[in-house]
Amino acid sequence: MRKINNPYNKLDGHLCFACSDKNPLGLKMEFYEDGEYLISKWKAEKHYQGFHNILHGGIQATLMDEVGAWFVQIKIKTSGVTSSMNTRYIQPVPSEGEILLKANLKSKRRNIVEVHVELFTEGGSLCSTSDITYYTFPQDLAKRKLYYPEYSEFFIKD
């Protein structure tokens, strides 16, 4: 498993709710490449709950959308925007404890990429899934308009 660096954190004013390490209210997600998967391990905290002791469904959707978007950046090597997201909530997620998210490629046609994401509890229970469609941009446009970095900037140097 290989840790992914967040090169956007060096941009002035980068405050992405999901992945920025500078947003005091954000999720501060981190990512890892593991074979065909892009994964994230995230620690749920009580202040992200909806119902008592249950992680809010909107936070679950945000986590899945973000790991899917990072899948596009790492595995497809460009940026994209979410076009559609079909989420299935299978069972409640506790509002405390580690969560594992796994994203992999469902399909790719021209600039349309479909990513499947699964969200698991610390104990390994599958709690929710999303099939997310991303509209992707040519890499040169992603670099000019969306600050997509050189690919090597995503990887921590040992």
Q: Is residue 68 part of a domain?
A: yes
pLDDT reported for residue 123: 94
Q: Is residue 147 part of a domain?
A: yes
Cα–Cα distance for residue pair 96/55, rounded to 1 Å: 8
Q: Is residue 12 part of a domain?
A: no
Q: Is residue 42 part of a domain?
A: yes
| pLDDT per residue as tens digits for the range 121-133 | 999 999 999 999 9
Q: Which domain holds residue 81?
A: 35-154
pLDDT reported for residue 7: 97
| pLDDT per residue as tens digits for the range 72-92 | 999 999 999 999 999 999 999
Edge-to-edge strand list for the sheet holding 37-44: 2-4, 31-34, 37-44, 97-109, 112-120, 126-136, 80-89
- Mean pLDDT, the chain, rounded, equals 97
Q: Is residue 126 part of a domain?
A: yes
pLDDT reported for residue 151: 96
pLDDT reported for residue 156: 74
Q: Is residue 7 part of a domain?
A: no
Q: How confident is the model at residue 63 (pLDDT cuts 50, 70, 90)?
A: very high
DSSP code for 111: T
Q: What is the model's pTM?
A: 0.95
Q: Is residue 81 part of a domain?
A: yes
CATH number for the domain including 64? 3.10.129.10
Structure tokens at 7: 């090169």
Q: Is residue 13 part of a domain?
A: no
Number of domains in the chain: 1
